[in-house]
Structure 1
């Protein structure tokens, strides 16, 4: 009770209504069964890798629930900005092509927050994507993401560690894991494409996790 009182009193009084509704979704504990959870698998494309200086170019996401990839329940948004990094544009080509409708950062964040709700968020090397979005939220006077997170890079190692065929200290790329699972990489280096590839990987991981009867609580102990 005391912790909840402090949590409520730490919140800014001028939060927009949509963000206050978002915060209210975290009052109840989530179910333990992996199958019934709503997972949002997401990815960001950015101008670079500096959390403080670089900006989000696009966010892509897709839902997995009831052991099904909800292809129709997807999310994609492109953000307006002035930052230009020719080195990263060589990879994703977003600013160079400028063929997408782009939203102001605040509006894009609102759409994303409404989409994710209190779902468990999943990404490959999730710490970076999480930090980029949290920094954008901070710039707009909002609180950090309240969701729980899972990282497919860590889960991949955790599901295979018993075989001893895996280097505990190796950092596995999305490409390496996709290749191991025979997943096509045609749409690599777009936010929506990488989110879809990560979702396919996560489906493979869920099957292994479910077979071992591992509960959500245990998965969420891993630090990202």
Structure 2
């Protein structure tokens, strides 16, 4: 029997991933939607650390859609007590916790094909991508915007000059409510994003 070396190998992906990919069909009508999100994590190493919680809120027509949000807490297979003072999430806290796979699937279902927004968002994106890798699927396909980069463009700053979320909250007089919680940071970043989006006229 002759083996066809050029036969295309098609991988069978799980339904949730096929559904997520379908949102990027070029034939679909686009209603511009942004999702501002944040991940609280056990640390800053995207390969060895894990997500503790994800908070996200949607923006459409230059308005934060308060009813269009998500927040999940993840079961902690890796627990680092030294990080608790930062995010306040206990291993056996009062929050309902779900497994990583379910959290990521919910995240994909929420964001769909929206433009993802965050502060120093590359880290959060990579944490999600690492979780997707553990599910043996692809990486996020969404367009991405970073509020730090937006500020650099506004002030003509060099790429290596970064501003923290706290600094920008002070500059734009944004109240830092629920700071260092995923949902709180997502909401703060959403307000910051809208202020700078207006200045940049995008």
- Fold in common (TM above 0.5): yes
Give 5+ residue unaligned stretches, structure 2.
1-7
> How far apart are the structure 1 equivalents of 2:33 and 2:188?
17
1:5 paired residue number: none
| Cα distance, 1:87 vs structure 2 | 2.0
Distance between the aligned counterparts of 1:152 and 1:87, measured in 2? Answer: 28
**Match in the other structure for 2:3:** none
TM-score (norm 2): 0.90
How much does 1:10 deviate? 7.5
Deviations 1:21-69 (A, max 9, x none): 110211228999xxx5200000000000111111000000001111111
Q: In 1, distance between residues paired with 2:71 and 2:9? A: 31
Alpha-carbon contact 1:31-1:37 (below 8 Å) kept: no
Counterpart CA distance in 2 for 1:73 and 1:66 is 13
Residue of structure 1 in register with 2:196 after alignment = 205
1:104 — aligned with what? 99
Is residue 187 of structure 1 aligned with residue 182 of structure 2?
no
The answer to whether the Cα contact below 8 Å between 1:45 and 1:191 also exists between their aligned partners in 2 is yes
Distance, in Å, in 2 between the alignment partners of 1:10 and 1:92 is: 44
**What pairs up with 1:69-218 in 2 under 5 angstroms?**
69-95=64-90, 98-161=93-156, 169-210=160-201, 214=202
RMSD: 2.0
* Maintained 8 Å contact 1:45/1:57: yes
Tell me the secondary structure at the aligned position of residue 64 of structure 1: strand
- Give the aligned partner of residue 18 of structure 1: 16
Aligned length: 195
3-state DSSP of counterpart to 2:59: strand
Q: Structure 1 residue runs of 4+, over 4 Å off?
A: 29-32
Q: Residue 141 of structure 2 aligns to a residue in which SS?
A: coil
**Structure 1 CA distance, aligned partners of 2:81 and 2:161?**
29
- Contact 1:60–1:191, Cα closer than 8 Å, also in 2: yes
| TM-score, length-scaled by structure 1 | 0.81
Contact 2:87 2:181 in 1 (8 A): yes
Structure 1 residue runs of 5 or longer lacking an equivalent are 1-8, 215-224
- Stretch deviating more after TM superposition (129-138 or 81-90): 81-90
Question: Does the 8 Å contact 2:79/2:91 carry over to 1?
Answer: no
